[in-house]
Amino acid sequence: MRILGIESSCDETAAAVVADGATILSSVVASQVDIHRKYGGVVPELASREHLRQIVPVVREAVLQADIALRDIDAVGVTQGPGLVGSLLVGLTYGKVLALALGKPLIGVNHLEGHVHAVLLEAHAGGRAPKLPAMCLIVSGGHTLLYRVEAKSNASGNGALQLSYSRVGGTRDDAAGEAYDKVARMLALGYPGGPIIDKLAVHGNPSAVRFNEPKMGGNQYDFSFSGIKTAVLYYLRKRPELQPEIDAREQALARGERNADALRVLSSATTLDLVASFQHAVVEGLIRRTLAAAEQFGAASVLVSGGVAANRELRTRFEEESRKYGLETFFPSRALSTDNAAMIAAAAYPRLVAGERADASLNAQPNFPLGKVVESLELKV
Ligand code: KG4
Ligand code: ZN
């Protein structure tokens, strides 16, 4: 079963061919990061316009790299949501028309379910299937969510793992990746902020600046990142002496000098300490809540996916800490951490096998929820 996956929910136009939900035959991603860089974030109108330019060549390239013809595809899986409506519509409409023209089944895929499958895809390829139920942290520029993932009890379909999802927690304000991007912007470290802060943080002292844990009532597995962003802003306001180096980095970025070494040379120890402390606070907060939820909801393993899952400190610290709980943590490769279409094709596979079919009425769902919410979860005793 070869599924063509199409993804266009945010600022990456992606297409991939995946066999049996497990073997990646091709995965093509056209990133728009150069277009959105000068605005310091994704501009929805520009994103949809760029998807329109890219969708046809990207799909063609994915089919070419898979060394097949379009008619050899068994189904089309396309991201239905959540995401930017104008962006979603481009991939969705193209996928729909393609499936209709080829006379192949069409499957609408939840982008978040795709992120879960990004981890499973590679874990299976490596012969290490994560034990279920798992606690899955999806952490990107658009999402910070915790899901309990388990095998469906009433699964139909042979051989394909059918999963069900329960939402355990999520961010109340910014996503973690968004906090990375905003802090990087304040410090003139370029866009996207995550990869550069990842590289600079190792040169600073992570305990130099103390950030308070966000105090929130209600669900203890919710996240909040707007407080730490504001704390960084106030920290900088109190230190006008840092302004000249911020200006110098701004000029370096304007000249196109974006690599970590170039920016590090223009950064004082105070700035590197701030960056390291920010990352430390974000990483420890993510890990603490995820592992507490894993324990509470009886998870047998931990999955971490989304753009921020590429972070090196997050990976090492997650592995160290989860071991203490006797849990193994699984991450996708860096390429599958950020948005891609292989994860969409992989998520479409069990649905295809179970007989799920979308028709021409399939529409974009910008706020598409995944699974049920925590209230209906049975707690581990
Ligand atoms: O999953 P993704 O490509 O797109 C969204 O769905 O948002 O994630 C992009 C986000 C950005 O906020 C970026 O700063 C962050 O992931 N990111 C990282 C790293 N690489 C990307 N954050 C921390 N460390 C990284 N190495
Ligand atoms: Zn995503």
Angle of helix 312-324 relative to helix 193-201, nearest 10 degrees, comes to 70
What's the rounded Cα separation, in Å, for the pair 255 and 227? Answer: 32
Flag whether 291 is in a domain: yes
Distance of CA 125 from the midpoint of ligand 1 (Å): 24
| Domain presence at residue 48 | yes
Report the atom number in ligand 1 closest to the C-alpha of 192: 14
Residue with tokens 């969705």: 92
* Position 155 in a domain: no
**And the tokens for 186?**
């304040």
Whether 40 maps to a domain, the answer reads yes
Q: Residue 96: give its domain's CATH number.
A: 3.30.420.40
194 and 320 share one domain: yes
Return the ∠ at Cα 17 (arms to 15 and 21), rounded to 5°: 120
Does the beta carbon of 313 sit less than 6 angstroms from any atom of ligand 1? Answer: no
The answer on 337 and 323 residing in a single domain is no
| Binding site membership of 181 for ligand 1 (Cβ less than 6 Å) | yes
Report the nearest atom of ligand 1 relative to the CA of 12. Answer: 3
Q: Is 309 in the pocket of ligand 1 (CB under 6 A)?
A: no
Question: Does 142 reside within a domain?
Answer: no
Query: Residue 310: CB within 6 Å of ligand 1?
Result: yes
Instruction: Count up the domains in the chain and report the number.
Output: 2
User: Which ligand lies nearest the alpha carbon of 181?
Assistant: 1
- Ligand found nearest the CA of 177: 1
Q: Which amino acid is at 64?
A: L
| pLDDT number for residue 155 | 62
- Do 13 and 106 lie in a common domain? yes
Residues 62 and 100 both lie in one domain: yes
Same domain, yes or no: 95 and 191: no
For atom 23 of ligand 1, which residue has the closest CA?
194
Is residue 151 domain-resident?
Answer: no
pTM for the whole structure: 0.95
| CA-to-CA dists, residue 135 to 99, 119, 169, 328, angstroms | 34, 12, 11, 11
The angle at the Cα of 28, spanning 24 to 32, to the nearest 5 degrees, equals 145
Do 252 and 292 belong to one domain?
yes
Residue 378 located in a structural domain:
no
Q: Is 297 in the pocket of ligand 1 (CB under 6 A)?
A: no
* Statement to judge: residues 220 and 106 lie in one domain: no
114/188 same-domain check: no
Looking at the structure, tell me whether residues 281 and 257 fall in a common domain: yes
356 Cα to the center of ligand 1, angstroms: 31
Ligand 1 centroid to residue 57 C-alpha, Å:
25
39-57 exposure pattern, b = at least 16 Cβ within 10 A, e = fewer: eeebbbeebbbbbbebbee
> What is residue 172's DSSP assignment?
S
Tell whether 43 is covered by a domain: yes
What is the extent of the structural domain holding 68? 2-129+333-373
Could you give phi then psi for residue 226, rounded to 5 degrees?
A: -75, -30
- Point out the ligand 1 atom lying closest to the alpha carbon of residue 312: 26
CA of 326 to the centre of ligand 2 (A): 28
92 lines ligand 1 (CB under 6 A): no
Cβ of 174 below 6 Å from ligand 1 = no
Is the CB of residue 305 below 6 angstroms from any atom belonging to ligand 1?
no
Whether residue 322 sits in one domain with residue 338: no
Give yes or no: residues 212 and 268 share one domain. Answer: yes
Amino acid at 355: G
Considering the domain architecture, whether residues 180 and 314 belong to the same structural domain is answered as yes
Sign of the alpha-carbon torsion through 38, 44, 50, 54: positive
Residue 27 CA, ligand 2 centroid: distance in Å: 15
* pLDDT tens for each residue of the chain, 381 residues long: 999 999 999 999 999 999 999 999 999 999 999 999 989 889 999 999 999 999 999 999 999 999 999 999 999 999 999 999 999 999 999 999 999 999 999 999 999 999 999 999 988 777 788 999 999 999 999 999 999 999 987 666 566 888 999 999 999 999 999 999 999 999 999 999 999 999 999 999 999 999 998 888 899 999 999 999 999 999 999 999 999 999 999 999 999 999 999 999 999 999 999 999 999 999 999 999 999 999 999 999 999 999 999 999 999 999 999 999 999 999 999 999 999 999 999 999 999 999 999 999 999 999 999 988 876 454 544
